[in-house]
Amino acid sequence: MEPRWEGRAPGRRRVEAGFTLVEIMAALVILAIAMTAVFATFTTQQKSFTAQSRVAEMQQNLRQAMEYMSRDLRMAGYGIPDNVTIPDGIVATGVTSLRSLYAKDNTTGPDQVYVLYLFDMDANQPPTSDNASFTAGAGSITVTSTTGFLTDGGELVLVTDNTTAADLYETSAAAGTTLTFGGGYGYNSGHSKSYSPPVTVAKACFVRYFIDDATDPAHPSLMVDRLNGRSPQPVADDIEDLQMTYGLDTDADGTVDTWTSAPAAPSQIRQVRLQIMARTRLPDRDWSETRPALGNHPGGASADGYRRRIIDVVIDVRNSGA
Residue 132 lies in a domain: yes
The answer to whether the peptide bond before residue 110 is cis (omega within 30 degrees of 0) is no
Task: Quote the pTM value.
Answer: 0.81
| Residue 259 β-bridge partners | 247
Q: What is the pLDDT of residues 74-100, one digit of tens each?
A: 999 988 888 888 888 889 999 988 999
Cα separation of 261 and 244, whole Å? 6
Residue 44 lies in a domain: no
> 10 Å Cβ neighbour count for 60?
13
In total, how many domains does the chain have? 1
Report the pLDDT value the prediction gives residue 125, as an integer from 0 to 100: 60
Arithmetic mean of pLDDT, 266-291: 93
Residue 38 lies in a domain: no
Report the pLDDT value the prediction gives residue 49, as an integer from 0 to 100: 66
Cβ–Cβ < 8 Å for 96, 79: no
Residue 230 lies in a domain: yes
The yes-or-no verdict on residue 145 having pLDDT over 60 is: yes
Report the pLDDT value the prediction gives residue 312, as an integer from 0 to 100: 97
- pLDDT tier for residue 220 given thresholds of 50, 70 and 90: very high
Report the pLDDT value the prediction gives residue 127, as an integer from 0 to 100: 66
Cα separation of 169 and 84, whole Å? 10
Residue 252 lies in a domain: yes
Nearest CA among 136, 134, 147 for reference residue 198: 134
User: Secondary structure of the chain in the HEC alphabet?
Assistant: CCCCCCCCCCCCCCCCCCCCHHHHHHHHHHHHHHHHHHHHHHHHHHHHHHHHHHHHHHHHHHHHHHHHHHHHHHHCCCCCCCCEECCCCCCCCCCCEECCEEEECCCCCCCEEEEEEECCCCCCCCCEEECCCECCCCCEEEECCCCCCCCCCCCEEEEECCCCCEEEEEEEEEECCEEEECCCCCCCCCCCCCECCCCEEEEEEEEEEEEECCCCCCCCEEEEECCCCCCCEEEEECEEEEEEEEEECCCCCCCCCEEECCCCCHHHEEEEEEEEEEECCCCCCCCCCECCCECCECCCCCECCCCEEEEEEEEECCCCCC
Residue 64 lies in a domain: yes
Cβ–Cβ < 8 Å for 171, 159: no
Which value, in Å, is the radius of gyration of the alpha carbons in the chain? 34
Domain membership of residue 70 as a residue range: 56-316
- pLDDT tier for residue 12 given thresholds of 50, 70 and 90: low
Cβ–Cβ < 8 Å for 85, 191: yes
Phi, psi of 176 (to 5 degrees): 60, -115
Cα separation of 76 and 70, whole Å? 10
Residue 126 lies in a domain: yes
Nearest CA among 107, 174, 118 for reference residue 147: 174
> 10 Å Cβ neighbour count for 164?
10
Q: What is the pLDDT of residues 17-28, one digit of tens each?
A: 677 888 888 888
> 10 Å Cβ neighbour count for 170?
23
Residue 5 lies in a domain: no
